[in-house]
Amino acid sequence: MSASTVLKLPPQETADLPKKSYLNSEYGLKSWLLTRDHKRIAILYLFSTVFFFTIGGTAAAFIRLNLLTPGGELMAADTYNKLFSIHGIIMVFFFLVPIAPAVLGNFLIPLMIGAKDVAFPRLNLLSWYLFVTGGACELYAIIWGGMDTGWTFTTPLSTHYVNTHVIGAALGIFIAGFSSILTGVNFIVTIHRLRAPGMTWFRLPLFIWSFYATSIIFVLATPVIAIALVLIMMERTIGIGVFDPARGGDPLLFQHLFWFYSHPAVYVMILPGMGVISEVVACFSRKRVFGYTAVAFSSVAIAVFSFFVWAHHMFIMGISNYSALVFSLMTMLVAVPSAIKIFNWSSTMYKGSITFDTPMLYTFSFIGLFTMGGMTGVMLGCLGMDIHLTETYFIVAHFHYVMVGGMVSAFMAGLHFWWPKMTGRMYPEALGRLAASVLFIGFNLTFFPQFILGYMGMPRRYHAYPPEFQVLNVLSTAGASILAVGYLLPMLYLTWSLKYGKVAGSNPWRATGLEWQIQSPPLTENFLETPVVDFEAYDFEWLANKEKNEVQSVG
Amino acid sequence: MDSQAIAVPATKSEIVHEHSPHLEHHFATESQQREASNFGMWLFLLTEIMFFGGMFTAYLIYRIWYYPAFVAGSHWMIIWAGTLNTVVLICSSFTMAMGVHSAEIRNRKLLLRYLIATLLLGCVFLGIKAFEWHDEWEHHHVPGLNFSINEFTHVDPRYPLDKPLPRDMAEKTQDYFSLYFLLTGVHALHMLIGVSILLFIIFHAWRGAYTTGNMNFVENFGLYWHFVDIVWIFLFPLLYLISRHQ
Amino acid sequence: MHFISPVLWQFLVKWLSRLPLFPPEASSIAPYTDAFFFFLLLISIVGTGIVVLMVVSFSMLYRKEKNPEATQIEGSTLLEATWTIIPLALFMIAFVWGALLYFRIYNPPTNAMNIYIVGKQWMWKAEHPGGQHEINALHVPTGRPVQLTMISQDVFHSFSIPAFRVKREVIPGRYTTVWFEATQPGTYHLFCTQYCGTLHSQMIGEIVALTPDDYQKWTAGSTSGASLAQNGERLFASLGCASCHSGSPDAHGPSLAEVYGSKLQMANGSFVTVDDAFLRDTILNPTMHQVAGYAPIMPTYQGQVSEEGLISLVEYIKNLNSNYRVQQTLNTSQVQTVAPSAPATGQGVVKQ
């Protein structure tokens, strides 16, 4: 521990953008639409997922506007039902599930492990096309009238009792699911086989461990929802009767098949974010993550345990008391690795040297909001408590805390952290901090009142509600308007930074990690020579030594 | 600052292409590429197991609940067709394995012969399946489209020892046939996809693509074909052989 | 909540319910749910507090200006063990407490009075054994355990009474049950909490808890004519059940007197306790419930009788237990003094 980790380097402002990078190696629409470069594919995904985010967000805006008044006067009940269904489907399947793996994962995994690309670049491009095709199918279903079964497609409502575009919506998700499966396969093979020499498993950044765990879930869980959706489509078109009690079918079977995927899916929607947090906390504390092995194994433990808890979404649906016991116990167990991670990240800051740049602010947001969301998850996992709280706004608040307060904060942290690497430019720091703060305040104002509403008993998916719930609903909508600003700001200043942002140079954060040892933006082939790794992850001493001994040339 | 941690050769053209044209640039060696593509294929087959798994779960549950209906439904399967299909598929797996071996020993003619044999056997399977489905249609066993329980509520002349089912259990045969069509339909879809890819492979094999050292594609396709065969090995007893000893 | 002074507890609850921040505690189980909730809230606040404290204090103590050089620390197995075991222990306590509460809410006491609920898009129908029918409302007495036996006619619904802290899905194809004991007279919200289509948010109603005297007055005043059991008896005759279940020793079907609650041996050798779900399913799927010693000739009534009809039949069979009427009389205050001379109109008509 003799080498100092303090760096004194010439300022980066005098740097120039590198002449050749993956962005300008080829020009033209065809070079983007037929690219095999994982970085370009990540950018393609960024555009498509942000596009879907705005659609889902618009639906949310209308939902909250309708809930300003208890009578639901803003729109008809059918319209409202379609809006929350669309919000759920788009946000879950077309934004949260793909965003971190497809954008950050695609861009960074090869860079972090020292590879030139993912294992199957053409399959990677196919994944994007499958995603876009599924999205187009979904958009068709939405534009031609929408569907109103909720994102959970509960049978027999979805099979026999609505006449909206259920099949179109299910088909869109089915197609997009293959995108997830192929991405998962790609990542697992890449991480196993394409690591640079010397990059052993325990030298990998924790980001990679999280994405590896996510990919395991992609591969094992997604096919089950594929079959569940196929069964819905068959029941709706030909009426095979597999979920129809009048013909001996069991509607609860659909619930089991659906939640067998959808519960691990929520861990897909948080594990990548946790990977980002590991990286950001290490960099902005200038020290290695506390308890590397614990965090790494916790990621895999979360992925494995996530498969054993699905029926905690079904505690009151008539499953036997004894199976409810088992699933509640497993739910308590799956909460423990997440707790371990939170404590490890917090301890990383101990005796660190902390700066408060935008990614770190989003990280603080994550730690606070995910902990709250996670603890309310434990509350819901307790059987007796779930009886009162399930199907109310408490659930809505819980999952928004973990998914939006957790995942989206983490994604914003990652987007800001790696923005200079992806584009070669810095975003405006002051605006970044402002947006992070606005997001935190807006988020809490939107979703905290919903915990109270939930305990009071206000059910979810209600177009109109009893008047005594109005005050809290108005508070929630007010918060949503602030939250919207928190999302709009980055969209604006990040776009602005593409042309006017400061040139970042290869390592503006002085971070460890192979991705920071190459130019920003990277060359198409990432590394001209295969790197040889002889240092641990988050080895700030190695970094200090390297920077000290190198000849610096500016410009 | 634009420093590189890694040494940079002067121009990219100085990198000499000493490897075979099949090696993709992001792989260091051909063996790495082969292992990666193999691993990827095994992972994909794992996802297929999960996909079929959902259907097998539904089958398991309904068979336990409605066993008499499943027995009755299964007795209507054309046993010789199913057995023949099983033999056909096992043979096709054999010819496929021999094909992969031929590619390994770089024998183009032999490879073509085995691939075409596999293709023919696959088509025979699909043909017999189509015949069976037509038979189900004729007997009004297609759920949702023309299903009727008449044949289950009356004595089946082929199984005079079987009692006709009471109405409520006869209704449940629809669950059996739904799962039958679902399982065999998804399986047939996989066979169809396999046959299409096989056409593609035969074309390229004829051009010599797989006998010049890069047989990854054939090897991985072989894995896929064997998987589809194994799924059938499970489907056959579950669907055709319920309580056949009577 | 016995650890907290009752005065303090009352004050806390009353104060919280006055602001629109907390639902009223109107059932015997509600205080237990609330106590559990406060425990969970406490450990959440403590846990979040510890984390926030760590982050805030480390941010201040070790910010770059104050600590320009970071100390590389690999980890600490002791700390890992600590923050694994303590959360695990707390979660296990929560699990056990929650499981006990769950079993309490979903296992009714044996002397609970029974009310049937049929949910359909988009209304609730309540059927009292004495024949009272309610739509989107449910009158219950305070101080007596009430069990709800529920089924849906179409899609999934969920019967939720936040003030009682109970909720259960109401699904098609089989009965689900929940029980409660109202403690405070008053009117409380009834919500459908499982999304069921267009008018899901209109599928709401009122739970009216009345003192035992008021409840007696209400039942006497709202009797429609025939009790459920009497309707069941009519159906039993009109559907032809009596021809096989005549009760004579050489009948084709088993006698139904004293059958409810008993253990029957099935044709496949297993033993089954006869409850509501068994009765309903036997009427619809007799082949799955063949009783030992009888020929499997019972026809199915699927499609011929509605859920209300099934409820009436089940109630009739229950009443064939000689001590059932006595038990129910002790629990309910309904006593049908005059047998109807003509069949009641409407209810129990055989569905085409």
Select from C277, C308, C284, C318 the least CA-distant residue to C298.
C284
A351-372 tens-digit pLDDT: 999 999 999 999 999 999 999 9
CATH of the domain at B179: 1.20.120.80
pLDDT of residue A48: 97
What would the mean pLDDT of C112-123 be, rounded to a whole number?
93
Query: Hey, of C287, C304, C305, which one would you mutate to test binding to chain B, going by the most B CBs within 10 A of its CB?
Result: C287
ipTM for the predicted complex: 0.92
**A205 phi and psi, to 5 degrees?**
-60, 150
| B9 is a domain residue | no
CATH class of C113-221: mainly beta
pLDDT of B170 higher than 80: yes
Walking along chain A (555 residues) 10 residues at a time, the average pLDDT comes out as: 46 71 90 94 96 96 95 93 96 95 96 95 96 96 93 92 92 96 96 94 96 96 95 89 85 94 96 97 94 95 96 92 95 96 96 94 97 96 95 97 96 97 94 97 97 95 94 94 95 95 90 91 90 90 79 45
**How many domains would you assign to chain B?**
1
pLDDT of residue C343: 39
CATH class of C228-331: mainly alpha
Contacts of B171 in chain C (CB under 8 A): 300, 302
pLDDT of residue B212: 81
pLDDT of residue A86: 96
DSSP strand pairing (C137-141 vs C133-135): unpaired
pLDDT of residue C251: 85
Euclidean distance between CA atoms A453 and A219, whole angstroms: 37
C15-39 tens-digit pLDDT: 666 666 889 999 999 999 999 999 9
What would the mean pLDDT of B201-208 be, rounded to a whole number?
90
Sequence-distant (≥ 6) Cβ neighbours of residue A222 within 8 angstroms: A177, A180, A181, A184, A261, A265, B47, B50
C109 at interface of B, judged by CB pairs closer than 8 A:
no
pLDDT of residue B8: 45
**Chain A residue with the nearest C-alpha to that of C173:** A245
Closest CA of chain B from A189, distance in Å: 6
- Whether A206 and A275 have beta carbons less than 8 Å apart is answered as yes
Domain A36-530: which CATH number of 3.20.20.150, 1.20.210.10, 3.40.50.970, 3.90.1170.10: 1.20.210.10
User: What's the whole-model pTM score?
Assistant: 0.90
A3-7, A273-277, B197-201, C185-189: least confident range = A3-7
What is the domain partition of chain A in residue ranges? Answer: 36-530
* Number of inter-chain CB pairs under 8 A, B vs C: 26
Select from C155, C153, C158, C162 the least CA-distant residue to C193.
C158
Query: Hey, of C45, C73, C310, which one would you mutate to test binding to chain A, going by the most A CBs within 10 A of its CB?
Result: C73
Can you read off the two tokens belonging to residue A551? 């000849």
Average pLDDT, chain C: 86
Q: For the stretch A500-510, what's the b/e string if a residue is b when 16 or more beta carbons lie within 10 angstroms of its beta carbon?
A: ebbbbbbbbbb
Written in H, E and C, the secondary structure of C83-146 is HHHHHHHHHHHHHHHHHHHHHHHHCCCCCCEEEEEEEECCEEEEECCCCCEEECEEEEEECCEE
C299 at interface of B, judged by CB pairs closer than 8 A:
yes
Closest CA of chain C from B151, distance in Å: 17
B206-242 tens-digit pLDDT: 888 888 878 899 999 999 999 999 999 999 999 999 8
Written in H, E and C, the secondary structure of C325-337 is HHHHHHHCCCCCC
Select from A322, A279, A257 the least CA-distant residue to A111.
A279
| B45 is a domain residue | no
Q: How confident is the model at residue C346 (pLDDT cuts 50, 70, 90)?
A: very low
What is the domain partition of chain C in residue ranges? Answer: 6-63+78-106, 113-221, 228-331
Q: How confident is the model at residue B13 (pLDDT cuts 50, 70, 90)?
A: very low
pLDDT of C183 higher than 70: yes
pLDDT of residue B80: 93
- Whether A435 and A483 have beta carbons less than 8 Å apart is answered as no
Contact flag B166-C284 (C-beta cutoff 8 Å): no
Contacts of B66 in chain A (CB under 8 A): 248
Can you read off the two tokens belonging to residue A188? 């697992």
Q: How confident is the model at residue C339 (pLDDT cuts 50, 70, 90)?
A: very low
pLDDT of residue C347: 37
Give the N- to C-terminal CA distance of chain B in Å, as an integer: 83
Print the domain residue range for B158. Answer: 52-240
The long-range contacts involving A496-502, CB below 8 angstroms and separated by at least 24 positions, are A496/A428, A497/A419, A497/A423, A497/A425, A497/A426, A497/A427, A497/A428, A498/A423, A498/A425, A501/A423, A501/A425, A501/A426, A501/A427, A501/A428, A502/A12, A502/A13, A502/A425, A502/A426
C256-282 tens-digit pLDDT: 888 888 898 998 888 999 989 999 999
